[in-house]
Homo-oligomer: A and B are copies of this chain.
Amino acid sequence: MTINMNDMVIISVDDHITEPPDLFDKHLSPEHLATAPKFCTDENGKNYWTYQGMYMPSVGLNAVVGRPPEEYGMEPSSLEQMRKGVYDVHARIDDMNANGIAASLNFGTVAGFDGGRFHKAENKELALIHLRAYNDWHIDEWCGAYPGRFIPCGILPTWDMDATIAEIKRIAAKGCTAVALNENPTVNGLPSIHDEYWEPMWKAITDYDITMCLHIGGGNPSPHASMETPIEAWITTMPMSVAVGAADWLNLSALQRYPTMKIALSESGIGWIPYFMERADFSHARHKAWTNSAANFQGKKPSDVFRKHFMSCFIDDDFGLKNLSAFDEDMVAYECDYPHSDTLWPEVPEYLHKSVQCLTDEQVAKVTHKNAMRFFNFDPFKHYKREELTVGALRAAAAAANVDTTPKSYGGAKPLADGEEGRRVVSGDLMKMFAHHAEAQTRSAK
């Protein structure tokens, strides 16, 4: 490659929003606003949401960007314990500029990556109304504030297939080209993806050319070996836990009926995927005679089906990029994971430029932005000239706006009790921190 770091254009296909308190205000009638999810603050200053009798204790969920690394394990429990870019779109643009990110696809937090909060609501009539308002906020208000800087990503009321189809049409009309889905709907009590229940959705999704984003964490678990396991073990294996869902979807017969179906494996990592594809081919070749899957794959190799339909993405993945030839090079994209603890903000360009050294200029363009643009039908260059969206230009804008990226202490719930400092943090500590946090919030909300 010959491209300079400052000339790169970077699109991230996986970032997160902690929803702001006024989320629903402009998108609901007073009557429906009264029953919408509500942002609250307890007597200790902790923020939480309530909805239909449910409590969503953590408003942060690992939103630790901008802290010193010593505080990455501390869980924000109020907006004040987070960088403003986590929940404020204007500050987000500043943070994207400082990080040289031209555009970004965002998942929600209180709603769940996949809109799961609305699935858990008992009154589904209200949930549908509020879910639509959520999409209006996300598409019109958040993404709409800076056209060309965000790839809108809706959520769907998949408990009701008619409403799902209607919502696909509605958000597509707004220019939304992606939806976030739970990769394993059985965890929400819905039929598996192999059930005919989903047929109308497959049709509508492909008719309206919408990409389905399957983000880790919503459906299939990322297992902890034991509660005494050092937490880095869990962090290490989390992206690879995508494999269970990826294999499930790879065997979806609808892929054969809808050849334009597009699936993004959000936060997947890429380095393990060539092995996964080869293993899928081996499994099919060795077992198809008794699994009766030959008719499904119609002589195609599972790896070819994967390459055609699935986009994977990487944060920092030298081994995967070195083996880009094992992929369809049009199907790999960058992800920043702002504001979660894996994010390399504000140094993404430095890390990324280094790890794409092994690629050609055209390959660099593809994995940094062109693939995301094509896969998500998203064209930032309709709104900006290329030279306005380069790392150099965006960072110059951030500098002009005095965006401060100095690490700051933000506090929050601690994984270790006082007096335990220095002990290795284990899976059980995180479980306890979340359970304690949830319990405290529930008590205070009553």
Contacts and interface: CB of A to CB of B under 8 A. Distances in A.
A287 B292 CA distance: 45
Contact of A275 (B186, B230, B317): B317
Closest 8 CB pairs between A and B?
A271-B275, A69-B289, A233-B247, A225-B248, A192-B226, A73-B290, A192-B228, A230-B251
Residue of A220, A244, A315, A422 most packed against chain B (CB within 10 A): A244
A342 interface: yes
Contacts of A89: none
B279 A269 contact: yes
Given A278-B317, A296-B230, A289 B72 contact: yes
A345 to B, nearest CB: 12
Interface in A240-293: 240, 243-245, 247-248, 250-251, 253, 269-272, 274-276, 278-280, 282-284, 286-293
Interface string A425-444: 11000000000000000000
Contact of A225 (B68, B192, B223, B278): B192
A320 interface: yes
A230 B291 contact: yes
B70 A229 contact: no
18 contacts: A69-B290, A70-B289, A192-B227, A219-B225, A225-B244, A225-B247, A229-B251, A232-B288, A233-B247, A236-B280, A237-B244, A269-B275, A271-B274, A271-B278, A275-B317, A278-B319, A282-B342, A286-B341
Contacts of A194: 226, 228-230, 426
A198 B284 CA distance: 41
Contacts of A253: 424
Given A271-B279, A275-B319, A316-B282, A425 B290 contact: yes
A231 interface: yes
A252 to B, nearest CB: 9
Contacts of A247: 225, 229, 232-234, 236-237
B232 A280 contact: yes
Interface string A365-404: 0000000000000000000000000000000000000000
A332 interface: no
A317 B275 CA distance: 8
Given A192-B225, A286-B72, A232 B293 contact: yes
A290 B74 contact: yes
B269 A424 contact: no
Nearest to A72: B290
Contacts of A244: 223, 225, 233, 237
Given A236-B276, A251-B230, A275-B320, A290 B192 contact: no
A220 B233 CA distance: 13
Contact of A291 (B232, B243, B291): B232
A93 B274 CA distance: 35
Given A194-B230, A248-B226, A240 B72 contact: no
Nearest to A250: B233
A296 B422 CA distance: 11
A184 interface: yes
Contact of A276 (B272, B284, B302): B272
Interface string A51-73: 00000000000000000111111
A323 interface: yes
Contacts of A426: 194
A280 B243 CA distance: 17
A269 B272 CA distance: 11
A239 interface: yes
A423 interface: yes
A70 B286 CA distance: 10
Interface in A164-216: 183-184, 186, 191-195
A379 B219 CA distance: 48
A163 interface: no
Contacts of A276: 236-237, 240, 272
Contacts of A229: 192, 194, 247-248, 251
Q: Report which residue of A229, A234, A270, A315 has the largest number of chain B beta carbons within 10 angstroms of its beta carbon.
A: A229
